[in-house]
Copies of this chain bind each other. A is one copy, B any other.
């Protein structure tokens, strides 16, 4: 890397002090139009670009928010992240996406003053991380856990309600034997959905059969394999008549498995996902789902973070509503 030209050389070129260069370039109005021009010209001539390290070290602000996650893969993350980027732009903030599951890396970035605040997931939700965050007064917004105290806010979906809606929809369609595919263990949204599902089943005095509870991990592949395996190894009369998948991708895996065994959705099984990802409508049959306002979540997360950064308020928690989208994979049980 070649030596970069610094403010010092611009100063020399313009025959002026470095203080003046700084002020001129940052538009402080204490400096004469004439010198502003001289400085700007010199800067342009030398191709000067300010060293952000120097600048941020001094100003102690980065105009960057961190987005810390172990993965960006999948439509949920894609949509969320782009929404965050867009909203952050409205505040003249950049978004610094850091992908790692190494808590060390994330927190050294975080505590190393590389960002003014961050939006995070599960990865940083443990007692140790949270207490550091609180102790250091780091501004944080979580989007997959309800937390609010001190400098921490959160924006989550009403996933319990989502679980309820899914179960209710199936029950209204005559289903009584309903299977469930949880996502990753201890993930808030997944747990909450299961909770809502349980509640509704209980309210209708319907049993939950643990054989029908099959790991899906939010992934099409895992769901496909596990469901296929279940169907191949379980007598037909023990099967449920509907599946609530962990999310849309998981539902797609379920459907594929069923299809491959010569069975059909929704004739033999109903299936339902969560999120309403864009590609969903391109599948055949198109998938019934509970729509989550992902973009709104991204936007609100930024809004809350900005409030924290500007010290406008203490951490608080927002919950976003969800909505049933009926498509072709759920159907009245006709038996």
Contact = CB atoms under 8 A, between A and B. Distances in A.
B85 A95 contact: no
A96 B94 contact: no
A256 to B, nearest CB: 5
Contact of A52 (B49, B78, B114, B259): B114
Contacts of A55: 112
A35 interface: no
A276 interface: no
A96 B283 CA distance: 34
A207 interface: no
B73 A78 contact: yes
A279 B278 CA distance: 13
B85 A99 contact: yes
A113 interface: yes
Given A1-B137, A85-B100, A253-B282, A112 B73 contact: no
A304 interface: no
A79 interface: yes
Contacts of A139: 1
Contact of A57 (B54, B224, B253): B54
Interface string A291-315: 0000000000000000000000000
B282 A109 contact: no
Could you say which interface size class chain A belongs to? 35 or more
Contacts of A252: 279, 282
Interface in A66-117: 71-74, 78-79, 81-82, 85, 89, 94-100, 105, 107-109, 111-114, 116
Given A51-B112, A52-B108, A220-B279, A82 B99 contact: yes
A47 interface: yes
Interface in A127-143: 132, 135-139
Contacts of A114: 52-53
A84 to B, nearest CB: 9
A50 interface: yes
Contacts of A50: 108, 112
A2 interface: yes
Interface in A262-294: 278-279, 281-284
A253 B283 CA distance: 10
A2 B47 contact: no
Given A49-B108, A49-B111, A51-B112, 4 more contacts: A1-B138, A2-B135, A2-B136, A57-B57
- Per CB-CB distance, the 3 closest pairs between chain A and chain B, nearest first, are A52-B112, A2-B137, A97-B97
